[in-house]
Structure 1
Amino acid sequence: MTGTGARTAAATTAALPPDPPVSLWRQRNFAALWSAHTVSQFGTQLGFFVLPVLALTTVGATPAQLGLVSAAETLPFLLVGLPAGALLDQWDRRRVMVVADAGRAVALGAVPLGYAFDLLSVPLLCAVAFVTGLFTVFFDIADQAFLPEVVGRRRIAGANSRLEFSRSAAELSGPGLAGLLLQWVTAPLVLLGDAVSYLVSALLLGAIRPPGPAAGTAVGTAAGTDPRPPAARERMRTRIAEGLRFVLRHRALRSLALATAVANLAGLGGALSALLPAFALRDLGLSPGRLGLALTLGNACALLGALFTARLVRLLGLGRLLLAARCLPGLGVLLLATAEPGRAVPTLAVAAGLIACGVTAYNIAQVSLRQAVTPAALQARMNASVRFVVWGTLPLGAAAGGLLGSVVGPRPALWAVAGVALLSVLPLLLSREIRTLRDFPEDSGN
């Protein structure tokens, strides 16, 4: 084709509308990633509910000891979070996720073995929690850095909404299912379900073949965003420092990290992980089944957060949604502190609903924003730096919450925790970059 004919064909092609994007559900790689995420989340919710019940009922742990178990699971983020991010910007992220899932399955398998040989103790639970948390560090950082590879940068928010919906569905049914199972079998055997879910997740992740860098190739280099040679020529501390500098110098990322860090001190992975089970099972006299029912009813609100976050962003603007969502968990803890035995289930259900809805909407918005503003070559290091800050407060919150609950009692400790949770909105409120955001930026500048 020559001359005018070629120009005419080109003009005709340019005038045609672009092909509609393929649905995320029809993308094989995302479908496998979503399936792995969903199976793993259901197993995780079983473990999240059963482990404290096991510590309180079978081992006889105090709130302070329960806080130590929770702290052990999140301590690895303080110890290896930053170097993990530097390594994961060079390693095959999918392969790391597969190994991490298998490692978590093996670690959790130690609990039923310990029970069978009468070796269950607080130190053993701490050790299992620590090893599980160590693998979780690598899995979670790789997971968030891997998603843009699978779906593309423009579809991050939609993909995160689907993944968050799965997490919310697991939170909705997990506690009720765990409470029901505990009526039939012992807690260590229920934890086998969590271990099996990690193995299934590893198999599904192994089936993913994303476009982009070949296995073992530095992700940033293969994507054409980082022309430097592999990390053998670059010192580890330099790469870690790059990730930290990027987060600390980016005003929106810095505000998000600080707000989330304060919230996590008080949240379900922090102080509440030690206070809520002890308060519900001992002070309010609930059975594991009734506690599971209350959390199941409340967690239904997490589905609302997952379903309507994108619409709320369009209606309110991204900044206002982040502010509102950050306040809801604090209000939920305030309500939780007022619970009495006669109305424990409805009070806990409403409190859990406020917490779940706020956390879900906030996580979808803030994770999507972080991914959208970060170049591909810095995704893992950004996630590691943010996780170092926001997850680093979890062991401190869990240990402090358990200690405070043992000293003054769970109810007074909950009032203090509610105050900390409400204060977490201040970094966002004081940040003009967050307050004025209307939508997610489409170009990270890479």
Structure 2
Amino acid sequence: MTPAPPGFRPYLLSRAVSTAGTLVATVAVPVLVYQMTASAAWTSAAAATGALPYLLFGLAAGALADRVDRRRLMVACDLLTALALVSVPAAWAMGALTPAHVLAASFAVQTLYVFFDAANFGALPTLVGRARLTESYARVYGTTTAVELVVPALAGLAVAVWAPAPLIALNALTALASAALLRAITVPLSHPRPQTGARDGMGALVGQVREGLGFLWREPTVRTLTLVGASHSAASGAWLAMLVPWADRTLGVAPSGDARLAVLFSCWGVGALAASALTPKLAGALGAPRLALGGLPVSLLCGLAVVLSTHWLAAAVCASLWGAAYSVVVINAITYRQRISPDHLQSRVSTTARMLSWGVGQPVGAALAGAVAATAWGPRGGLAAGLAVLAVGVAAAWASPLRGHALRGADTAQEAAVGRT
């Protein structure tokens, strides 16, 4: 592994502490809302605030992050996040906390995260350079995955022992820590914005949104990676939606009091950790286009093995392999897309792709799986429905210009050509 470039370590640590704080709030907020209301509807509304801001503000966030100093934007988002979060335990301590306050704070935090995330995705290629992007993002992915494996369990234990409202203050502290770490980075996280002669304002912002969308649609490789990523996310949405009922009805793993369910929940995380180590080596050996095309059918086959499993141990092994294949595809697609996107469009392209994958693909996959599971096909049929969407994405990728790039090994030359635009 090559030495980390200057500024990467505080960037990585910022991502780790920020992810940890977010996971604490992800556990604490629904518990707090349910304790206050005893209402499934209120609790569902708290969960819905996670995806809605990306759909509402994703395009604007990407355009803004490409036109301002990304470090300043991320630091400002962290500080405002801490302010919104600390209002919850403060109101709770004064006996003035309401469910509406919790939801408003959660929505504000998720909205700020959209703008932070847009700047964050654009900052990494500038920080580490295109040549080290896959290795660096794999380290980020592996670190945040490790945090995701550990923190929710600890947060769940803490919520069981202490009241959830004070725990949200911990997320405020991690936001402040993230801001301090980002301020410690001395190298640039943004390239100078090209001067187009257009005045700043809403009209310019709309024009920049259109520029980003236009590039994404015109550039065939970026378009393919984005659309296929959405189909891949649909399969993960089906997995998340069906895991508990599928484990119960197909594998005989009870939804409560059965330690085997915890094993099944951890499988994708274990696979993702393996993928963070494997992806840079695979991308170096095969090239990004070949890895993109080869990883998709492997992910599909691993998913099919999960659907066909009837014993929990076999299912756990297959699910871990699926998590590894899925994560290899994700890491490679994100970094390949960033390597062939112009510097001044990084945030817009990454945020739009994330909108389509996380904001559209996962919810659609979950909804489709739920609808199929309500029929005679059951949870196994719901999982299969998500894989059917993935199969369409695999076919689309193999029929796209990406196949020609893979056959010719056209990776580096294309990156250079696009990077100069």
TM range (shorter): 0.7 to 0.9
Q: Deviations over 1:153-190 (max 9, x none)?
A: 33222221221221232233334444554554455555
The Cα shift of 1:38 comes to: 1.8
Question: 2:325 maps to which residue?
Answer: 358
Question: 1:326 maps to which residue?
Answer: 296
Alignment check: 8 A CA contact 2:369 2:386 kept:
no
Q: Deviations over 1:106-128 (max 9, x none)?
A: 4455666787759676x776545
What pairs up with 1:28-427 in 2 under 5 angstroms?
Answer: 29-48=7-26, 69-109=46-86, 127-181=104-158, 184-185=161-162, 191-211=168-188, 219-221=191-193, 226-229=194-197, 231-232=199-200, 235-267=204-236, 270-276=237-243, 284-287=254-257, 291-296=261-266, 298-327=268-297, 330=300, 346=313, 349-350=316-317, 352-394=319-361, 396-397=363-364, 400=367, 404=371, 407=374, 412-427=381-396
Judged with a 3 Å threshold, the aligned counterparts in structure 2 of structure 1 residues 22 and 166 are, in CA distance, closer, same or farther, namely closer
Q: For 2:304 and 2:254, locate their aligned partners in 1 and report how far apart those are by CA, in whole Å.
A: 16
Q: Which SS does the other structure have where 1:311 is aligned?
A: helix
Q: Deviations over 1:195-216 (max 9, x none)?
A: 4333321221121222476xxx
Q: For 2:73 and 2:204, locate their aligned partners in 1 and report how far apart those are by CA, in whole Å.
A: 21
Structure 1 unaligned runs (5+)? 1-20, 214-218
Q: For 1:189 and 1:435, locate their aligned partners in 2 and report how far apart those are by CA, in whole Å.
A: 55
Alignment check: 8 A CA contact 2:303 2:387 kept:
yes
Q: For 1:150 and 1:308, locate their aligned partners in 2 and report how far apart those are by CA, in whole Å.
A: 22
Q: Deviations over 1:319-357 (max 9, x none)?
A: 3322343345555655666788xx65x466435523431
Question: 1:5 maps to which residue?
Answer: none
Q: What is the alpha-carbon root mean square deviation over aligned residues?
A: 4.0
Question: 2:4 maps to which residue?
Answer: 24
Q: For 1:394 and 1:126, locate their aligned partners in 2 and report how far apart those are by CA, in whole Å.
A: 24
Alignment check: 8 A CA contact 2:29 2:46 kept:
no
Alignment check: 8 A CA contact 2:212 2:348 kept:
yes
Q: Which amino acid aligns with 2:196?
A: R
Q: Which amino acid aligns with 1:424?
A: G
Q: Which amino acid aligns with 1:85?
A: G
Q: For 1:57 and 1:278, locate their aligned partners in 2 and report how far apart those are by CA, in whole Å.
A: 25
Q: Which SS does the other structure have where 1:374 is aligned?
A: coil
Judged with a 3 Å threshold, the aligned counterparts in structure 2 of structure 1 residues 330 and 363 are, in CA distance, closer, same or farther, namely same
Q: Which amino acid aligns with 2:234?
A: L
Q: For 1:57 and 1:426, locate their aligned partners in 2 and report how far apart those are by CA, in whole Å.
A: 47
Q: Mean Cα displacement is larger for which, 286-295 or 83-92?
A: 286-295
Q: For 2:19 and 2:301, locate their aligned partners in 1 and report how far apart those are by CA, in whole Å.
A: 26
Q: Which SS does the other structure have where 1:73 is aligned?
A: coil
Q: Which amino acid aligns with 2:18?
A: S
Is 1:445 the counterpart of 2:420 in the alignment? Answer: yes
Q: For 2:309 and 2:39, locate their aligned partners in 1 and report how far apart those are by CA, in whole Å.
A: 23
Q: For 1:107 and 1:236, locate their aligned partners in 2 and report how far apart those are by CA, in whole Å.
A: 26
Alignment check: 8 A CA contact 1:318 1:440 kept:
yes
Q: Percent identity, please.
A: 29
Q: For 2:314 and 2:106, locate their aligned partners in 1 and report how far apart those are by CA, in whole Å.
A: 30
Q: For 2:283 and 2:104, locate their aligned partners in 1 and report how far apart those are by CA, in whole Å.
A: 42
Judged with a 3 Å threshold, the aligned counterparts in structure 2 of structure 1 residues 374 and 43 are, in CA distance, closer, same or farther, namely same
Q: For 1:291 and 1:193, locate their aligned partners in 2 and report how far apart those are by CA, in whole Å.
A: 28
Q: For 1:120 and 1:439, locate their aligned partners in 2 and report how far apart those are by CA, in whole Å.
A: 57
Alignment check: 8 A CA contact 1:70 1:129 kept:
no
Alignment check: 8 A CA contact 1:111 1:191 kept:
yes
